[in-house]
Structure 1
Amino acid sequence: MANSYYYTRFFDEMGGRLDENYNNPRYDEINHLLTHSKYSFDDLGDHKYLTNIVSGKTPKGIKYLETGIPFLGSTHILFGNIDATDVPRIAEDIHNGVLASSKIKRGNVLVTIAGTIGRTAVYHSDDECNANQAVAILNLGTNEIDPEFLVHYLNSRLGQLFFGKLQHISSQPNINLEEIKKIKIIVPKKTMQTEILKKVNMIELQALKLEEDEENIRRESDSLLLGEMELNSTRQNKYFFKTGEGKSVCFYIFSNELSDRMNYLFYHFDYTILQKLQERYETEKLGCVCSEPIKKGEQPIYSENGEIAVIKTINLKNSYIDYKNCLKVSRDFYDSVPHAQIRKGDILIASTGHGSLGKVDVYDRDDPAIASVDLVILRLLPAYDPYFITYFLRSHLGAVQFEKWFSGSSGQIHIYEQDLNQFIIPKSSTQGIPMEKQKDIVSKITKKLEKLTELKQKSEKKWEEARALFEGSLLS
């Protein structure tokens, strides 16, 4: 078989697990790095460091509310920080009752343990929150190790090697709590931890300032398309399909205005901007501007030695595709799923989940790839610029249509192919937005995004500099 390789392990080297991933020679680097430690190391699960570790859960029939206790999932835990912008909320009696064991308090360390493994952050808020089953909650509760130091360590190269080795590879990778306890941690004295963090934090502050500038540029680029189309909106960019949260409103419509949907979001008065779009421009339904039917990706069977990239929701960044961290499948699997194959110029849309649904990016490579089952693929007619349609779908004009057409509740939300077909876009015509005008708008937005990319590269360089300083402080 192409790209296969073989290795051997003696029984005394196998550590109680027989799976290929755990015993893979690429993790031999762990022992090499530990032997070059400047300080002693120990198990994370030692009571000197860890007083308790639990994972959250999602009770059957749980309902998300407009206000309440934040309920974190793995998508909210990033490397070193928590993004609670779009977090769903639960009732306080659920938090204090069935989920009492997974309460999260200031100073707890949170680790993603399902899906994307090993992203780690400290919870800094004084307000309690809770988490689902994809998050482990570590209570250090001692003076032996600083929570921020532990987070930097677990997010470092060595920490990520441990997560890679200990995880169980499947369609939903996971790691259990007992395995987290087995991670070896390098532990200088507390005063030295503080000194290391002080130096590292100085560089991280520079990276955060660059990211703040990135966000300002992103907001400008998001509003540019509306300005070019003279369809400005006063609405704040907060949508139920992204956050799982809504604001109480009261409105009515007559029975003869009802269609086949009974969801109030389908008739929300914010959609008057779509009427303005249709009044100002000749429009067409999205399904009619595709050269092929809109189609869904495929559940991949990953291969350690695969050569074909799989694009998943986590790889869509709503401004670029993260190719670096794509998992792979074999050429045989790629050939077996022609409906999921991606071509250069295809538009990829995340079709599930609060905070993920509605992310849109263009596949811009010649290399073969497939879309995962959580994405849908749009392949446009030549009269439409894929970047213009992508920018349109990212804008308020696209967001209100995702808001209107999504289905589901309680965190399990979807946008189906037949509903994407109904999205309204400007027609490529003299009464709509012809190709020449599409390209002009794309050019202006792209210039903004190029500045965004430049800032992102600078911030990533600073983050890498901070990581290198931290690791160099521990390893000779």
Structure 2
Amino acid sequence: MAIWSKVYYTETLKGQRLDSEYFDPTDLDIIGNLLDSCQAEPIGAGLCTVTSGYTPQYSENGIPIIRSGDLSELLITEDNLLKADPTENRIFYLKKHDVLISSIGCGSIGKVSIYLGEENTTGTVSEVTVLRNSTVNPFFLALFLMSDMGQRLIAREITGATGQQHLLPSKVKKILIPFPYEKHEWATKIYTEIVQRLSESKRFYLEAENIITYNLGVDSLTLEPNLFVTHTFKGTTASGRMDAEHFTSKSSTIEKLILDYSIRSNKEYLLGRLVTENKRGGQPLYCDDLNGLPVVNSKHVQAGQVILDRNRRCTSNSNNSLVLNFGDVLVNGTGVGTVGRCAAYLHDQPAIPDAHVTIIRTSQVDPIYLSVFLNSIAGQLQVQKHQRGSSGQVELYPEDIAKFYIWNAPKPIQDQVREMVIQSYTALEDTKRLLESAKKQVSNLFTEGGII
């Protein structure tokens, strides 16, 4: 059955749009209801300041920068952010309760988050629209924009073709926000509970890392970098490396600690001998079918979790890529600030990794324990040692991951780490369910009759 909308010519001029998607009947009904029954006002009518950040030159250390792909409906993990030197860049600093909207990027455009950190500690880029000094409760504003209704209104203002889409600040200003604002205080209580549960999830995961570093003895080591390292010519030629980072004393100290334990316990320590699979994914054949398998790329592999949220879909197991199963260990293979980031895949839903993600499978070490070990300082120092390439183009290849020294800890320790990660994951999933419930509550506030 054909579906169409009848609109006045003046409306097409006002919106500067002639595409049918912009005048979708469902969207027009939502807008009409918000205007007639809920006294809604556009964001640009003085509800808040609409601005955006600056894109800096990145460096190894400095101020964390939130990019469009970093936005999450839950809290943004600053451990995963790129850094920028404030002495060499003009940085747009975020303020507490800024609402952030991703304005570019397939799969991330339209994502909404709220910044809850301290002022003058974190910046953002030009591809992120910032809603600041809101006269609306910022928690309600974020939840409304995350809800199905808010996402439809955001999607309506996105311009450009697939792969080159943009959400301009001038378009964000047109998005309607419902009234009356004094009834929105419940959103603060909901978000407070969300933050508490996220903190609980993070605490469990940090405890898992601490179990490893304490029992391995990393805490008692001196890991200060030396000004120089003496190494044999034979050793440099065997490794095929001549860069100083590969021969840092910090990674050598960790490797000696693991090797000594392995000799005493008569256990294998080389990762390549402990795994049954160690390979990168392939290039998926993307599709618009929501029933396709979700694709996991490097931005979805966070430290300790694999994100399945608005992932692009692929038609099938294309290019002979592995299908991810529960317990697979995923390692980011590329990207400054993200290379070597690791997580166990704890979802029941099958997925496809892309060509920038390495999949590790093992039956000799608990895979969840292995993922935490690789994220710990003992694993990350080896990431720094084995990564290749210049600034901005670093890679960590499966053949180099196979050279990692792994502490094959006693089973009770591996079981303890696994239990902490499962508790962390459970708390995280509870948080997601709470957020989804809050988003539905926001949508249900507004019906044809107005506010319930």
| TM-score between both structures, scaled by the size of structure 1 | 0.73
| Residue matched to 2:130 | 137
| Residue matched to 2:40 | 41
Which moved further from structure 2: 411-420 or 315-324? 315-324
Correspondences of 1:67-216 after superposition (within 5 Å): 67=62, 69-79=63-73, 82-96=76-90, 102=92, 104=94, 108-115=98-105, 116-117=108-109, 118-122=111-115, 125-127=118-120, 130-139=123-132, 144-145=135-136, 147-167=138-158, 170=162, 174-188=166-180, 192=182, 196-197=184-185, 199-216=186-203
| Residue matched to 2:245 | 264
Say whether the 8 Å CA contact 1:122–1:148 is kept in structure 2: no
Say whether the 8 Å CA contact 1:341–1:368 is kept in structure 2: yes
Correspondences of 1:272-283 after superposition (within 5 Å): 272-281=253-262, 282-283=267-268
Report the CA distance shift for 1:445/1:84 in structure 2 as closer, same or farther (over 3 A): closer
Residue identity (%): 18
| Residue matched to 1:395 | 376
Say whether the 8 Å CA contact 2:50–2:129 is kept in structure 1: no
Say whether the 8 Å CA contact 1:349–1:377 is kept in structure 2: yes
Report the CA distance shift for 1:31/1:233 in structure 2 as closer, same or farther (over 3 A): farther
Report the CA distance shift for 1:318/1:249 in structure 2 as closer, same or farther (over 3 A): closer
2:340 is paired with a residue whose SS is coil
Correspondences of 1:370-381 after superposition (within 5 Å): 370-380=352-362
Matched, 1:252 2:240: no
2:89 is paired with a residue whose SS is helix
| Residue matched to 1:240 | none
1:424 is paired with a residue whose SS is coil
Which moved further from structure 2: 460-469 or 205-214? 460-469
Say whether the 8 Å CA contact 2:205–2:424 is kept in structure 1: yes
CA deviation after TM superposition for structure 1 residue 445, in Å: 2.6
AA aligned to 1:278 is: L
| Residue matched to 1:360 | 342
Deviations 1:363-388 (A, max 9, x none): 467865311233112244x5555344
| Residue matched to 2:297 | 312
Which moved further from structure 2: 403-412 or 368-377? 403-412
CA deviation after TM superposition for structure 1 residue 51, in Å: 4.9
Measured in 2, the distance between the counterparts of 1:16 and 1:34 equals: 19
Deviations 1:396-448 (A, max 9, x none): 3322212322235655543223321221235xxxxx66xxx55x544333322
CA deviation after TM superposition for structure 1 residue 7, in Å: 6.5
| Residue matched to 1:456 | 428
Measured in 2, the distance between the counterparts of 1:365 and 1:458 equals: 14
Say whether the 8 Å CA contact 1:360–1:394 is kept in structure 2: yes
CA deviation after TM superposition for structure 1 residue 288, in Å: 3.9
CA deviation after TM superposition for structure 1 residue 338, in Å: 0.5
AA aligned to 2:227 is: F
Say whether the 8 Å CA contact 2:144–2:150 is kept in structure 1: yes
- Give structure 1 stretches of 5+ with no counterpart: 1-5, 237-246, 427-431
Report the CA distance shift for 1:409/1:121 in structure 2 as closer, same or farther (over 3 A): farther
AA aligned to 2:218 is: S
Measured in 2, the distance between the counterparts of 1:376 and 1:294 equals: 5
Measured in 1, the distance between the counterparts of 2:373 and 2:115 equals: 36
CA deviation after TM superposition for structure 1 residue 275, in Å: 0.8
Measured in 2, the distance between the counterparts of 1:18 and 1:343 equals: 45
User: How many residue pairs are counted as aligned between the two chains?
Assistant: 428
1:415 is paired with a residue whose SS is coil
Measured in 2, the distance between the counterparts of 1:279 and 1:352 equals: 31
Superposition CA RMSD, Å: 4.0
Say whether the 8 Å CA contact 1:340–1:372 is kept in structure 2: no
AA aligned to 1:370 is: I
Say whether the 8 Å CA contact 2:65–2:81 is kept in structure 1: yes
Say whether the 8 Å CA contact 1:106–1:126 is kept in structure 2: yes
AA aligned to 1:40 is: Q
AA aligned to 2:129 is: A
Say whether the 8 Å CA contact 1:122–1:147 is kept in structure 2: no
Report the CA distance shift for 1:107/1:134 in structure 2 as closer, same or farther (over 3 A): same
- Give structure 2 stretches of 5+ with no counterpart: none
Measured in 1, the distance between the counterparts of 2:145 and 2:33 equals: 18
